[in-house]
Structure 1
């Protein structure tokens, strides 16, 4: 019988711990073997997750809190939801690395509390420090998008640790493909809210319109864009780029898993000048 998502996640945690130990011991043979098994289990985890989602149907709408829920945790706009949770909810909708400004716009569009973009300035550094101490004890971290060439953190972009490494990589095509993924996620969320009986806010419609304006075939003269039309047009263009970008991501991900530590796989390799500085100067 195929392993469940939970069983595979437990297996991944064990393998990652084993990889850390083999690296500390300098056992390259064991490290290579564990990395190979990690890639296989990660692929099984992705497949199990897809199967679970297909059995359950479309994902549930990420709904704003009710007034009763807001009263139980604090007044709207006064820090009722932690910033990292706000960011995670926005990234879950977007489905691809995004800037603090876009993350803030998405949260404002779909939730009752504002998310001030300036609060995100130190969030990734705080998350990295927390991961260095606690490892995989949290269900998710707000981490970095990774440049495919240097494997360093992409400036100004945040991602979710539950995404695959391939999903977090930034390639020359990412500015467009991630934009299309953002449009798809936004349109899907508008659909889910409407289907659940929660009319999207005017800010949500404005956000979807901004995406539609730059996607061929997605825009209409109506003040409220058609989510179905946006989805169809965005998916059609994304399919054009898929094959070209996929191999680049696969190659970069393989190189990253061979070269980077667990912390670096989430938060990026150190820039060369920082590494030289910490090492005692320029050689």
Structure 2
């Protein structure tokens, strides 16, 4: 536990420095990302010493933090798995059943530049995809799903989790082991950690499949920006 606490404390200090530097550079997106990562690290620190996170995060905020860690559109199951592995707490889904409607209402009534939970969008018709969540601050290209995006996003999620500062913790390593069952070519040697081996295998496949998916998303995003208003670019076009 002492090593884990020391690692978390070093990470929190680094994230504070990152947030400060981003603030001085006027990079608001980087500030928000660093602060979200800092809150997650602080929650893990409180969990390690046997106390509830201070302040206690609401379910929707924990969902937002999990999505920030995952970095790509994710399903409720993936969001719950990441929340449990990184915070040691379950994320009850019932209070989040209306999250999309609530977030769109908040967007329509608030002028702040807050982070919004929104649906991923179908790259063919830009309608919201059921059961797939994203963050509205992400570039439109990242929030779109083509026929090849599911695999790309899964592998991207795995590489992000494997490179996270908490990747050496037992709960995160256990999650990575389960995810590795869906990635061919994972080889763990005495000279490579589990996260490193998993990230290497995921990146190898990503190198092969990413370029085509990126081109499809870029073309769809170009069309979406011409056809959709700002609200629809976040929450999707109406279904016919």
Q: State the TM-score, normalizing by the size of structure 1.
A: 0.66
Any conservation in 2 of the 1:83–1:115 contact (CA below 8 Å)?
yes
Distance (Å, rounded) in 2 between the aligned partners of 1:207 and 1:144? 24
CA shift for structure 1 position 221: 9.5
Task: Quote the residue 1:145 is aligned against.
Answer: 120
What is the aligned residue count? 208
Match of 2:217 among 249, 254, 266: 249
Match of 1:6 among 26, 46, 53: 26
Task: Quote the residue 1:117 is aligned against.
Answer: 93
Any conservation in 2 of the 1:143–1:267 contact (CA below 8 Å)?
yes
Render the CA deviation track for 1:123-174: whole Å, top value 9, x for unaligned.
1110011101114x04211111011001011110000122111011101011
The reply to whether residue 106 of structure 1 matches residue 82 of structure 2 is yes
Match of 1:96 among 49, 53, 72: 72
The unaligned stretches of length 5 or more in structure 1 are 10-44, 74-79, 273-283
- Pairs within 5 Å for 1:151-166: 151-166=126-141
Distance (Å, rounded) in 2 between the aligned partners of 1:219 and 1:120? 38
Distance (Å, rounded) in 1 between the aligned partners of 2:141 and 2:162? 23
Distance (Å, rounded) in 2 between the aligned partners of 1:238 and 1:156? 24
Any conservation in 1 of the 2:173–2:194 contact (CA below 8 Å)?
no
Any conservation in 2 of the 1:217–1:229 contact (CA below 8 Å)?
no
The unaligned stretches of length 5 or more in structure 2 are 1-23
CA RMSD of aligned residues (A): 2.8
Any conservation in 2 of the 1:100–1:120 contact (CA below 8 Å)?
no
Q: Sort the Cα spacing of 1:131 and 1:65 in 2 relative to 1 into closer, same or farther, 3 A.
A: farther
The reply to whether residue 201 of structure 1 matches residue 170 of structure 2 is yes
Q: Which has the larger radius of gyration?
A: 1
Any conservation in 2 of the 1:209–1:219 contact (CA below 8 Å)?
no
CA shift for structure 1 position 83: 1.7
The reply to whether residue 178 of structure 1 matches residue 153 of structure 2 is yes
Distance (Å, rounded) in 2 between the aligned partners of 1:95 and 1:229? 20
CA shift for structure 1 position 62: 3.9
Q: State the TM-score, normalizing by the size of structure 2.
A: 0.77
